[in-house]
């Protein structure tokens, strides 16, 4: 399991922001695993989310970042995989809380919703914040069991 690797994937709408985030991951001394897309040619966000889910399932990375236009489609797709807890975040507070409360292992961002500065701040909060456990553990355990 590669704990220093952060997997990234995006559709065409998230391509440019994903590249900025990958560079920021590297600047932090972590290893970005860029799963694409690799141009602004149109691709389908469920396919990109599936690539990232596979990377976390097989241990190539322990954390991930997904980007599409709104972040909505790609986060819905990612959360269909039982081992993924993907938080769609719009600011530092949601990025911090999805780690503290949800133990999110994937951050989703909307490139048409948040600016680059906010996205980079969200990445920092996501990577810097620990899961609180405690009262949240019962709820996160229920997610792993598929619901309530």
Among 2, 69, 81, 92, binds ligand RB5 (CB under 6 A): 69
9 sits near ligand RB5 (criterion: CB under 6 A): no
Q: Give least dist CB 88 to ligand RB5, A.
A: 10
Buried b (16+ CB within 10 A) or exposed e, 125-142: bbbebebeeeeeeeeeee
73 sits near ligand RB5 (criterion: CB under 6 A): yes
Between 70 and 98, whose beta carbon lies closer to ligand RB5?
A: 70
Between 11 and 103, whose beta carbon lies closer to ligand RB5?
A: 11
Which position has the token pair 């389908």?
A: 44
Active-site positions?
68, 101
* Contact positions vs ligand RB5 (CB under 6 A): 11, 13, 45, 68-70, 72-73
């Amino acid at each position: 399991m590669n704990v220093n690797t952060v997997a990234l994937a995006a559709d065409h709408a998230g391509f440019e922001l994903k590249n900025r985030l990958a560079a920021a991951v590297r600047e932090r001394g972590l290893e970005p695993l860029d799963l694409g897309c690799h141009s602004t040619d149109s691709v389908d966000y469920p396919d990109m989310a599936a690539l990232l889910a596979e990377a976390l399932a097989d241990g190539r990375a322990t954390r991930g970042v997904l980007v599409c236009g709104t972040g909505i489609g790609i986060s819905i797709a990612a959360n269909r995989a039982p081992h993924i807890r993907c938080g769609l975040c719009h600011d530092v507070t949601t990025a911090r809380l999805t780690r503290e409360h949800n133990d999110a292992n994937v951050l989703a961002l909307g490139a048409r919703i948040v600016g680059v500065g906010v996205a980079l701040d969200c990445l920092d909060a996501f990577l810097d914040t620990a899961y609180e456990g405690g009262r949240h553990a019962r709820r996160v355990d229920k997610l792993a069991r598929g619901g309530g």
